[in-house]
Amino acid sequence: MKRILLLCCLFIGLTAASYSQTKKTTTDPVEKAKGLQKELKLTDDQTSKVAAVYKESSEKFDKIKVADKGNTDKMMKDIGPLRSETIKKIKGILTPTQSANYDKLIKENKGGKSNGWSDGWSATSES
């Protein structure tokens, strides 16, 4: 009986630990903008403008995926300009302080801690 209880506790613990380490990805531009709003303390007006940028970027990204038909190398090359354009548009909406903080988020993303703020279509949020 003790072994069964121990196994159940072990299973529950491992399940909880693995679940807490997963990230939830959202493709909804409004949700991504709200996440950025929390990070950068955006106003509601800024948030709606960022959501529009994310929506436009997402639509362009979808077209690139269809056009490149699963060719990952080509897709990575083609999304570079889209990322730059998205970053530029978002920075145009931000205050100088917010822009500096956004730059930090972008650098974190390039450092391997992917948070999605720089790419315009794959923002993640912790579950």
pLDDT in tens, 12-44: 776 666 655 555 556 688 888 888 888 899 999
Q: 3-state class of 25 per DSSP?
A: strand
Tally the C-alpha atoms within 13 A of residue 100's C-alpha that lie toward its C-beta: 2
Residue 114 has pLDDT above 50, yes or no: no
The encoded tokens of residue 80 equal 């570079």
Residue 111 pLDDT exceeds 70: no
Using DSSP's 3-state secondary structure scheme, residue 126 falls into strand
Distance (Å, whole) CA 22 – CA 19: 6
Place of tokens 């959202």: 26
Contact 12, 90 (CB under 8 A): no
pLDDT digits (tens, 9 = 90+) for 42-99: 999 999 999 999 999 988 888 888 888 878 888 888 888 988 899 999 999 999 999 9
Rounding to the nearest 10 degrees, give the CA dihedral for residues 15, 27, 62, 76. Answer: -60
Report which of residues 9 and 93 the model is more confident about: 93
Confidence of residue 117 (pLDDT cuts 50, 70, 90): very low
Answer yes or no: is pLDDT of 115 > 60.
no
Q: Is 92 helix (H, G, I), strand (E, B) or coil?
A: helix
124 pLDDT band (50/70/90 cuts)? very low
> Residue type for 38, please?
K
> Which is more confident, 9 or 105?
105
